[in-house]
């Protein structure tokens, strides 16, 4: 049976990474074969592209170059890691995927969601996630969390002005409107334990539906 592909989305400081680790641990405790990965990155070539995109010295980077680099990293990550895992029937949990490009580059950078979708469909072909969980946190709250955490790396996109992050949030609302069946929303302003429980409910239900299909 083909595997299950779930992506996790949200603005900066939404708490995705911590929750993803907990969900991975729970699935593995059930005996599920899980690949937890992230974008941009997940494999050496894409991690190198990540360094180029997020380097805070690269303030000359053009928006289209940025969108193409994210799509290139996505393509390589998909081919090298996600497709083989899905073909082996594994569950793939991916921290960010195509919707990040639609919200950040398509909407916030004003390249147009349709244009960014087009280059990404070229990159991913038919491999859209089966389900996407959006961590809903207002940009002010998410960014305040990041600035409080002194150990967290601050990349070129974190350093964008508040107005950019507000547009990212609006971009996600638009993307969710366009694909409301695939994307489920979790209130990420709740306590971490509550967020984990809500995400767990959605993931377990997806795993069960997938098992029966």
Residue 34, beta-bridge partner list: 91
Cα(146)–Cα(142) distance, integer angstroms? 7
Residue 36, beta-bridge partner list: 93
Map residues 37-56 to x or -, x wherever contact with ligand TMP holds by CB under 6 A: -xxx----------------
- DSSP strand pairing (34-38 vs 91-95): parallel
Task: Give buried/exposed letters for 48-75 (b at 16+ CB in 10 A, else e).
Answer: ebbeebbeeeeeeeeeeebbebbbbbbb
Residues 128-167 that bind ligand TMP (CB under 6 A): 155, 157
Chain Cα centroid distance, residue 69:
15
Cβ contact 202:131 at 8 Å: yes
Sequence-ordered alpha helix ranges (H) in the chain: 16-29, 44-54, 63-77, 83-87, 98-100, 113-124, 139-148, 162-178, 192-212
Which one, 155 or 204, has the nearer CB to ligand TMP?
Answer: 155
| CB 142 to ligand TMP: min, Å | 11
Cβ contact 200:25 at 8 Å: no
- Output the residue with the shortest Cβ distance to ligand TMP: 104
Q: Specify the stretch interacting with ligand TMP by CB under 6 A; choose among 95-103, 122-130, 181-189, 197-205.
A: 95-103
Residues 58-87 that bind ligand TMP (CB under 6 A): 70
Q: Specify the stretch interacting with ligand TMP by CB under 6 A; choose among 77-85, 93-101, 139-147, 196-204.
A: 93-101
Cα(101)–Cα(168) distance, integer angstroms? 10
| CB 76 to ligand TMP: min, Å | 13
Residue 104 interacts with ligand TMP (CB under 6 A)? yes
Q: Which two tokens stand for residue 110?
A: 């004003």
Site residue total, ligand TMP (CB under 6 A):
12
| CB 52 to ligand TMP: min, Å | 12
Which one, 3 or 40, has the nearer CB to ligand TMP?
Answer: 40
| CB 209 to ligand TMP: min, Å | 26
Residues forming contacts to ligand TMP in the complex (CB under 6 A) are 12, 38-40, 70, 96, 100-101, 104-105, 155, 157
């Amino acid at each position: 049976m083909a595997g299950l592909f779930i992506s996790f989305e949200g603005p900066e400081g939404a708490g995705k990474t911590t929750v993803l680790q907990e969900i991975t641990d729970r699935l593995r405790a059930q005996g599920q074969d899980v690949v937890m990965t992230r974008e941009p990155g997940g494999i050496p070539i894409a991690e190198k592209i990540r360094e180029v995109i997020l380097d805070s010295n690269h303030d000359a980077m053009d928006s289209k170059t940025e969108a193409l680099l994210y799509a290139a990293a996505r393509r390589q990550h998909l081919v090298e890691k996600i497709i083989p895992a899905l073909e082996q029937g594994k569950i793939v949990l991916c921290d960010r995927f195509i919707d990040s490009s639609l919200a950040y580059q398509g909407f916030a950078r004003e390249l147009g969601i349709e244009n960014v979708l087009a280059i990404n469909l070229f990159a991913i072909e038919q491999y859209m996630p089966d389900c996407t969980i959006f961590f809903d946190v207002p940009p002010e709250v998410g960014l305040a969390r990041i600035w409080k955490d002194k150990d967290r790396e601050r990349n070129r996109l974190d350093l964008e002005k508040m107005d950019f992050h507000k547009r990212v949030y609006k971009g996600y609302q638009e993307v969710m409107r366009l694909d409301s069946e695939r994307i489920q929303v979790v209130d990420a302003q709740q306590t971490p334990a509550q967020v984990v429980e809500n995400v767990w409910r959605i993931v377990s239900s997806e795993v069960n539906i997938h098992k029966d299909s």
